[in-house]
Amino acid sequence: MPYLREILTEGHPTLRKVAKKVDPAEIADPIFQQLIDDMFATMYDAPGIGLAAPQIAVGKRLFTVDLQDDEKPEAGPRVFINPKFTLWEGEIEAIEGCLSVPGMVGDVTRFSRVVCIALDRRGKKFSVDAGGLFARCLQHEMDHLDGILYIDKAKDLRPARTDEEVAEAEAVAAGAR
Ligand code: ZN
């Protein structure tokens, strides 16, 4: 049974540490599989579209993502273990929020397209070619693995005031829009 983990908020030192690579031999371990299940449960409960392990005090290089967009099945529930970008291009600015910085939003410039390779929960290598919100979310989560928060990069960091911003900050929470 998956259970909800506590999401750390800004100021906690674990959020600022560079996470360690996962030993591929560890992936099949039931404890690691439990971690993945717990991350999905915690992300959906928040709710957010992405969650990185350091956000629940686990200093390992993995994050979960689910854009929950029926038109983008490739951006459905996925775990990225030891992720790496192999291509990045373009530039686009958009609003972002984070579960670890509740109630705030800011505008962040990101690459508009990235290709990301990672291991899945069976330890198999896969690759995704992501644009739009998916690309933004992957970059936001990847930053968490390097101890970087979006507020380090954001312009016009502000409390989420309008209903739209509040909704966005909640929906996007760990991810971005
Ligand atoms: Zn975040």
49-89 confidence digits (pLDDT tens): 999 999 999 999 999 999 988 888 888 999 999 999 999 99
What strands, in cross-sheet order, belong to the sheet with 78-89?
Answer: 50-52, 62-65, 78-89, 113-119, 125-131
4 lies in a domain? no
Distance 138 CA to ligand 1 centre (A): 10
Domain with 118 in it: what CATH number?
A: 3.90.45.10
Helix boundaries (H) for the chain: 30-45, 132-145, 163-172
Query: What is the spatial distance between Cα 39 and Cα 6, in angstroms, rounded to a whole number?
Result: 10
pLDDT of residue 166: 64
What strands, in cross-sheet order, belong to the sheet with 101-110?
Answer: 92-98, 101-110, 155-159
3 lies in a domain? no
Query: What is the spatial distance between Cα 110 and Cα 46, in angstroms, rounded to a whole number?
Result: 24
pTM: 0.92
Distance 144 CA to ligand 1 centre (A): 7
Query: What is the spatial distance between Cα 55 and Cα 132, in angstroms, rounded to a whole number?
Result: 23
For the chain, what is the domain count? 1
**Residue numbers of the domain that contains 138:** 13-174
pLDDT of residue 174: 44
Mean predicted lDDT score pLDDT of the chain: 92
Annotated active-site residue 93? The verdict is no
Distance 39 CA to ligand 1 centre (A): 13
Q: 112 or 174: which carries more pLDDT confidence?
A: 112
Q: 84 and 116 in contact (C-beta within 8 Å)? A: yes
For range 157-172, the mean pLDDT: 71
20 lies in a domain? yes
For range 131-160, the mean pLDDT: 96
Q: Is residue 171 predicted with pLDDT exceeding 60?
A: no
pLDDT of 12-34, one tens digit each?
999 999 999 999 999 999 999 99
